[in-house]
Amino acid sequence: MANLTTVTRISQEKHPRNISKHLNYGTAGFRSRATELDHILYRMGVLAALRSKSKDGDTIGVMITASHNPEEDNGVKLIDPLGEMLESSWEKHATCLANAGDEEFQVVLSEIVETFKIDMNCKSSVAIGMDTRASSPGLNTAVVDGVKSVDGLCFDYGTITTPQLHYMVRCINTRNAYGMATIEGYCNKLSKALKNIWQNQGERKVYKPHIIVDCANGVGAKRLKDIAERFDKILSIEIRNAGEGKLNYRCGADYVKVNQRGPEGIDCIEGQKYASFDGDADRIVFYYTDKDNIFHLLDGDKVATLIASYLIGLIRKCGLELNLGIVQTAYANGNSTAYIQDELKVPVACVCTGVKHLHRKALEFEIGVYFEANGHGTILFSDSALSKIESSCSSSSNESEKLSANELRTFVDLVNQTVGDSISDMLIVETILRDKDWDVADWDKSYRNLANRLLVVKVNDRSVFETTNAERTVIKPTGLQKAIDDHVKLFPNGRSFVRPSGTEDVVRIYAESDTQENADQLALAVAKSTYDLAGGTGNLPTL
């Protein structure tokens, strides 16, 4: 039986708390400078093993990554048995354990064991993965020490994308019913699904099976190469920013989305299709330049609408009645929401920012498509939907309906349902573009995004902000929402909101309008009001 006194001794001797600042476990887990995280990674190893014991030995995942953050940062998040985010009731315990002083550590551990009635004699197992940061191997060692301190078993996958680790955890706990819990199994599942769908689509005149992918100098480069090699001549994938430069520096999905231009080092050629991953390959955005050398971004909103239009058509061809819905956040472009509701006739739900909120809401639909505008998202198929699809495959008397149902069933295997996955999402987009026989410009024409701008204002204390209406309305500071409303009235198709960061004392300003100039001016006006009414620090943001 694991002894909590031994756990505490190892913590104090090998992984003592070396910082005084308080860190919160949020949607992305913990993130900070890598030099501040050793004791937290040890403690999360312990917590993951305890979580496993509380789930009767089911494997829990620990991913070491800071996603799109700078290279000197790192972080950690826990993954629950079916590949989902850590259950929210455990987040506060993760925060307490991470911030406890060395002398309080055992007391907090004991409280967790007592709260969840954990049988310390129960076996536990933890799957561990990490991104390519130089600090990751050392932090991996801290996690392993934590798991072993409570007699847990480790499955160390080494360098792996975040969504791949989510996939592995689900495979292990479903006894490989979801797929084989190996990189080979992951690649086989996705590549087999793509090839099976494509072979029934016939030749295409417009669609071009070629894409150039910016991998942000992160782990996605190696893992994309694993699967790209399986496509022979049916899909050409060129990999750029494969590790020769600095992680996430002037490249990657976040850089492209925020700056609305291609990554440095890639000269966008007219009509060529490009995509950018983030550092741990769970976000993706697409882009191209037109004949006038104008940059066009196709972000998470565009991906969600493309997927929804494809699924609607396929569901109708199957003759099935399935409840399909799309989940967005306040950052979704207003025209994307209008297109979904008015053209696709699909219900839209808006939730607070954070994948856990979108994932939870998507589960309310038989087929739930969720994407944040930043390119993080996936598709969830309920047991009810899968049962209806399977029944149509086997019992439909209409040959056309049966073929469509088989395509839909195969499409399910192309989706990593555990979390947003850059590789899976890229293959999904390629498959749908091929099905529609579209090039990237055809896709972009489905609807026109409103011009938008995202700015950041530094404030003394982000805790003074309080929002409601899925973060679209600010309640505090008093008077700020009225100021925003007054600014919005001055701009055609104007919309703006402010949202405090969950990890630092900054406030994000989002604005959109009919032209880029108007969107910029609206964002700057709201930023100044926020600065004045909320105790801004430093310089006002500029463009």
Active site residues: 67
Task: With beta carbons less than 8 A apart as the criterion, state whether 508 and 501 touch.
Answer: yes
The response to whether 373 counts as a known ligand-binding position is yes
CA distance 65 to 46: 18
223 carries a ligand binding annotation: no
The token pair at 403 is 């073929």
500 marked ligand binding residue:
yes
Of 277, 7, 14, give the one whose Cα is nearest residue 162: 277
Quick one: DSSP state of residue 339? I
Sheet holding 451-458, edge to edge: 451-458, 506-513, 495-500
* 499 appears as a binding residue in the annotation: yes
Does 387 count as an annotated binding residue? no
Which residue spans within 110-149 are E strands per DSSP? 125-130
Give CA–CA dist 69/76, Å, rounded: 13
In angstroms, the CA 320 to CA 405 distance is 9
SS (H, E, C) 41-96: HHHHHHHHHHHHHHCCCCEEEEEECCCCCCCCEEEEEEECCCCCECCHHHHHHHHH
Q: Is 170 annotated as a binding residue?
A: no
244 is in an annotated binding site: no
Would you say 467 and 473 are in contact if contact means Cβ atoms under 8 Å apart?
A: yes
- What single DSSP character describes residue 342? I
Q: Say if residue 502 carries a ligand binding annotation.
A: yes
280 is in an annotated binding site: yes
| 116: Cα separation from own chain's centroid | 29
Q: Is the peptide bond before 477 cis (omega within 30 degrees of 0)?
A: yes
Q: Which amino acid is at 125?
A: S
Structure tokens at 470: 């899925």
Q: Are 492 and 518 in contact (CB under 8 A)?
A: yes
Q: Indicate the annotated binding residues.
A: 67, 278, 280, 282, 372-374, 499-503, 508
Q: Which residues are annotated as a binding site for Mg(2+)?
A: 67, 278, 280, 282
Which residues contribute to the annotated binding site for substrate? 372-374, 499-503, 508
